[in-house]
Amino acid sequence: MRLASYRQNGKQGLAVAVGNAWHGLTEADQGFPGTLQVLIEAGGDALAKAGNALSSAPVVALDAVTLLPPLSHPEKIVCVGLNYVDHSAESGFKQPNYPTIFGRFNSSLIAHGAPILRPSFSDQLDYEGELVAVIGKTGQDVAEADALNYVCGYSIFNDASIRDYQFKAPQWTPGKNFDDTGAFGPFFVTAEELRRAARVCASRRASTARWCRRLRFRTWYSPWPGSCRSCRAS
């Protein structure tokens, strides 16, 4: 299931993909199931029920509404640095033995298609494409073998960085949290949907399969093979 968060006429909305079309409701409509964040926090089958309800809602033209980040106010965003081997090499970093962790703040988030803003006092704006794993339930001391049971879905992220401020100190947080530098989305894909896509990918033509295998061996720290440096939002 693919979901999109949006705003229409000043109201938040949620849409689900049905084939090539999107069907959705806003908080002004009767039957609106809630925002994606509310549904994830509700747990259980709340997401599945919302998807079923939205599938019969009116068609929404996503190019006629304002897209929002899938989650606008996640409780925390934990990012894993230097997880993509090629990026580590091109940046001149030795692959660490333990993940480099930094955080992102909600104030840095913007939606797909929104402009990324470079501060006037720096000319070192850079970009990084990331995979987001959205944690759907609380946990503590989770075993690696059980980690994916806590992931409810995935999205993508442009981790735009102000490099000179990133490297002014050992902690990367300042350079990763300028306002309007974290492009999140456009879509949220449920974990089961992505697992199905991965199985399809493995059975596709040889060139695609080779690409999937190449991706697996160029990443570190991620329990889901085929992810690039993971920026996990919960």
SS3 140: coil
Reported as a single tens digit per residue, the pLDDT across 195-232 is 766 655 544 444 444 444 444 434 545 544 433 333 33
d(CA 136, CA 233): 10
The predicted structure's pLDDT at residue 199: 55
Lowest model confidence (mean pLDDT) among 10-19, 81-90, 173-182: 81-90
pLDDT at residue 34 above 60? yes
Burial string for 74-104 (b: 16+ CB within 10 Å, else e) reads beebbbbbbbbeebbeeeeeeeeeebbebeb
Residues 132/79, Cβ–Cβ less than 8 Å: no
Reported as a single tens digit per residue, the pLDDT across 125-165 is 999 888 999 999 999 999 988 999 999 999 999 999 999 99
- Under DSSP, the state recorded for 221 is S
d(CA 192, CA 196): 6
pTM surpassing 0.85?
no
d(CA 212, CA 136): 26
d(CA 172, CA 186): 25
